[in-house]
Structure 1
Amino acid sequence: MNMIKNSSSNHLGINAPSRNHANDDLLLSRSSIFLLFLSSLAAQGESPAELQREIVLNPDPHSEETAYAQIRKSFGKKSIESPDLFAGNHQNFTHIQIRDDHEAGGCFDFFLHRDLDGDRNKEWPLGKSRQRNEIKGYGGSDEGLKATEGQVTRYTWLFRVNEGMTLTQKFCHFFQLKAVGGNDIATPLFTISGSRSGERDQLELRLQTSDHASWQRIPVCDWKVCQNQWLSCEIIVRFHEEGYLRARIESRDGSISFMKEFPEIDTWREGSEFVRSKWGIYRSLEDRESILQKEDVVSFSQFRIQEWSKLSSVPSLKRQE
């Protein structure tokens, strides 16, 4: 359930939680939050029409609803790809759990078990084994989770990698933008990932090159620096063959302050129906010996997906089209 409280916010516009859980906390539906947000814009003299649509998912640890129920309410009934939901996978453990965090408030903990979890009910061929615990937009989701050509979308959320999680030479994605439909759907357009580059373990951005043949990998920070602290993430995209993307990732203590802008980048795939977003843990098992812990946890909170009429309408983006 979505909850509005008295709160402060950082300059990414992501709320820091209030610790007051009094009975007069206001519980609102997603549509009510959207209307409240539009009213706030109008009060500030901004045109409400510039914000076209908004999806909000704030985990509520005080609700009687499970984590899965809360996710499905905002993202759709088939939006969860956790191992326990698929036959032949690790079904005797709930892989997304909800809790009250002393910094972020309500959050979802995403679990992966190195030796027990797989990728849905899929059998990967030798040399391509992997495992997944993700939530996503899909064809049955609200239109706000399906970005179409020319659309401007702003994604914000918090995430935290627990201490002790190790990386490999292969991929480990925490956020993905993927095309749906057309002939170029296997590889994400963009990811936030953890990987080993040479001798360095790092949090990084990955973008497909213009010929879609390889990855451009951009370091965000050293892996140890980003562990065990909440990171604020903001991704702004205009989906087009001559599109735009800006990524900002920051820690609350200031040890991480990353921003990278791509003013003319291909963010659309020919023949696509829409682009969907995915959050969680999706990683290769081909370098299994480098995954030292049997259980890893990554936490997420305060998801917000906004569709704007144009780039210059996005409040956090000081840029003219």
Structure 2
Amino acid sequence: MKLLHFARFITTATVLLLLLSKAPLQAQVTLSATGSGTAYDLIDANGFGNENPDCKHPSFGPHVTQAFDNTLGKYVFVFHSHATADDDRCTNEDRVRMEIKGGSGSPAEMQHTQGQTAYYRWKFKLDAGFIPSSRFTHIFQIKAIDGDDGAPLMTITPRAGNPQKIQIIHSSGEGSGSLGTVKEADLAPFKGNWVEAYVKYKSSDGSAGTFEITLTRISDGAVLLSYSNNSLDMWRDGASYNRPKWGVYRGKDAALRDEQVLFNDFCITESSASLCPSSVGGGNTGTTVNLNAQQDAYVRDGTNAGTAFGSTDAANLVTKVAPSGQANNNRETYLTFDISSITGTVTGATLKVNGHTESSSDANVGVGAYAVSNTSWTESTITWNNKPAGATSALATATVTDATARYYNWNITSYIQSEKAAGHTKVSFVLKNQQETSGRLLWNSKETGSNAPQLTITLAATARQGTTGITIPATAASGLNSFPNPFRDNNTISFTLEKPAHTNLSVYDINGKQVAVLVNGILTAGTHQTQFAASHLSAGVYTLKLTYDGKIITKKLLKE
């Protein structure tokens, strides 16, 4: 009997070993913004560490936040880097650092020991006015832990100059073997665009290491930079492992400004590139159209109420709510865009205006964008006296943080969708400050010559079987339904899945803010039903968004 039991044990063990050898364990670490909770908590919960300047600049709060991005159609991480107020973790005053990383507390998939191959994929976006340091600016690093771990092995580095560049830089550490800049490209095509980055490398010493990278613009699938080397030093003497770092790490210099760099959709694995698939290609990312303002001008009250500043001061746009005692100082800015060329399904719309505070004493000023139904006004004739009325409630509000000029965004997706549905060919807006300021808020006009006002509209891609990220308007055939609709406090949502899949069903308000998560998990194929309790929400239009199997299905809800 003992021999029989032993034989059975040996047989079972052999089968298990064979199964394990034929089906290796696969794992990946991912991190994407959700819009819920704090960014730091989300980053920590997914196994990433962070190095931030909060101790130096506590008044700002967390230096990573979350914001809804119309181009990607979801929440993303915003990495804040302040040129003078921040430093490097209260240890180095000559540089500023806001990075997330792999490290001692991270999953094993983020700790690459000698001989292991790692695969990374993520998205990033530099602001259209991004300024690199003349010293160094790293937005990605591969760093060694322990031993000769001084300089990073590899970096993605925007570089100051004329023209500005983006560089891939290699360093083998102490001794010989460093290649320096192995690839560079003009920085201009990267600015203001979402880029998907893919990296594969082998952590090996001497000539046994490998490295490849591809940077692809998401909007059109254009490869902006690529490089590969199958024989280079990717290991440091005495190191325990290599790990990734993402963020903004730059040397201070006089040319720098406060920056907001966007990141999202991090994926790390040591198993296979297929576990971190690309979301670029196949036309599934939709089309983004940038429209310039057709008319823009500001108006001023009091003794200037009859002046047409669109003629006398065409290069400037101004907003202000004057404090008591300042007469004739209120200002509002008007903009009109021609949307007649827009065809197809609008999935996102953002009003973008480049501006800043005039006075350093003014900070974090809210500015509302209001719909204006009258689109026939002209910049050469509009004055405070004849200005068209704006809506009573703002479509969206942006917060102007400081005196550094940058684009500020207002999510106006629902409004553009409704205007297109109504057959309107023009849209008009008025910008109004939400609080008093001692100085003005100054904005670029279309006559400024650069960083002019824009209306960015994203159109749904053509649906194709097998692609991902497709946005499909909800119909009865899609299986996404709401009853009743319109509704008052509660309604029932039903939907049908063609096959088992991880499913997310969420609700967003008119500003693109997530207000409810109804489903988030793996569901079986078939019809499902859930309740949307909305008594705490204000009346208005909401968007129901179902995401599963690479598809995005949306439906409008009206709460009375």
Per the normalisation by structure 1, the TM-score is 0.73
| 3-state SS in 2 of match to 1:83 | coil
8 Å Cα contact 2:100-2:246 kept in structure 1: yes
8 Å Cα contact 1:54-1:144 kept in structure 2: yes
Partner of 2:226: 259
Deviation per residue, 1:273-312 (Å, 9 max, x gap) = 0111100000001xx1221x2x211100000001127x99
Partner of 1:223: 187
Partner of 1:111: 80
**1:190 aligned to 154, 168, 182, which one?**
154
Determine if the alignment matches structure 1 residue 75 to structure 2 residue 47. yes
Deviation per residue, 1:9-66 (Å, 9 max, x gap) = xxxxxxxxxxxxxxxxxxxxxxxxxxxxxxxxxxxxxx752x64310111111x2x21
User: What CA distance in whole angstroms lies between the structure 2 residues aligned with 1:163 and 1:155?
Assistant: 25
Tell me how far 1:258 sits from its aligned partner.
2.2
User: What CA distance in whole angstroms lies between the structure 2 residues aligned with 1:70 and 1:275?
Assistant: 23
8 Å Cα contact 1:235-1:247 kept in structure 2: yes
Partner of 2:101: 136
Determine if the alignment matches structure 1 residue 60 to structure 2 residue 34. yes
The sequence identity of aligned pairs, in percent, is: 29
Aligned residues: 251
Determine if the alignment matches structure 1 residue 284 to structure 2 residue 251. yes
Letter in structure 2 aligned against 1:81: E
User: What CA distance in whole angstroms lies between the structure 2 residues aligned with 1:227 and 1:90?
Assistant: 27
Tell me how far 1:212 sits from its aligned partner.
4.7
Return closer, same or farther for 1:137/1:220 CA change in 2, 3 Å cut-off. Answer: same
8 Å Cα contact 1:153-1:236 kept in structure 2: yes
TM alignment of 1:204-219, pairs within 5 A:
204-208=167-171, 211-212=175-176, 216-219=180-183
8 Å Cα contact 2:122-2:267 kept in structure 1: yes
Tell me how far 1:167 sits from its aligned partner.
1.8
| 3-state SS in 2 of match to 1:308 | coil
Letter in structure 1 aligned against 2:76: C
Determine if the alignment matches structure 1 residue 239 to structure 2 residue 203. yes
Letter in structure 1 aligned against 2:70: H
Per the normalisation by structure 2, the TM-score is 0.42
Tell me how far 1:221 sits from its aligned partner.
2.5
8 Å Cα contact 1:249-1:257 kept in structure 2: yes
Determine if the alignment matches structure 1 residue 177 to structure 2 residue 177. no
Return closer, same or farther for 1:149/1:55 CA change in 2, 3 Å cut-off. Answer: same
User: What CA distance in whole angstroms lies between the structure 2 residues aligned with 1:239 and 1:312?
Assistant: 20
Letter in structure 1 aligned against 2:231: E
Bigger relative contact order, structure 1 or 2, given CA contacts below 8 A and separation 6+? 1
Return closer, same or farther for 1:213/1:150 CA change in 2, 3 Å cut-off. Answer: closer
TM alignment of 1:125-164, pairs within 5 A:
129-164=94-129
**1:95 aligned to 63, 70, 73, which one?**
63
8 Å Cα contact 1:209-1:216 kept in structure 2: no
Tell me how far 1:219 sits from its aligned partner.
4.1
| 3-state SS in 2 of match to 1:232 | strand
User: What CA distance in whole angstroms lies between the structure 1 residues aligned with 2:274 and 2:44?
Assistant: 32
Deviation per residue, 1:88-147 (Å, 9 max, x gap) = x001112101012112222100011111000002045xxxx1110010111121111111
Which ranges in structure 2 are unaligned for 5 or more consecutive residues? 1-21, 279-560
8 Å Cα contact 1:231-1:249 kept in structure 2: yes
| 3-state SS in 1 of match to 2:192 | coil
Q: Which protein is bigger by CA-based radius of gyration?
A: 2
Determine if the alignment matches structure 1 residue 302 to structure 2 residue 265. yes
| 3-state SS in 1 of match to 2:84 | coil
8 Å Cα contact 2:136-2:159 kept in structure 1: yes
| 3-state SS in 2 of match to 1:71 | helix
| 3-state SS in 1 of match to 2:43 | helix
8 Å Cα contact 1:117-1:131 kept in structure 2: yes
| 3-state SS in 1 of match to 2:40 | helix
User: What CA distance in whole angstroms lies between the structure 2 residues aligned with 1:48 and 1:247?
Assistant: 28
Return closer, same or farther for 1:109/1:312 CA change in 2, 3 Å cut-off. Answer: closer
Tell me how far 1:215 sits from its aligned partner.
5.2
8 Å Cα contact 1:156-1:305 kept in structure 2: yes
User: What CA distance in whole angstroms lies between the structure 2 residues aligned with 1:313 and 1:120?
Assistant: 34
Return closer, same or farther for 1:53/1:313 CA change in 2, 3 Å cut-off. Answer: closer
Determine if the alignment matches structure 1 residue 120 to structure 2 residue 60. no
Which ranges in structure 1 are unaligned for 5 or more consecutive residues? 1-46, 317-321
| 3-state SS in 1 of match to 2:57 | coil
User: What CA distance in whole angstroms lies between the structure 1 residues aligned with 2:275 and 2:65?
Assistant: 36
Return closer, same or farther for 1:231/1:206 CA change in 2, 3 Å cut-off. Answer: same
8 Å Cα contact 2:183-2:227 kept in structure 1: no
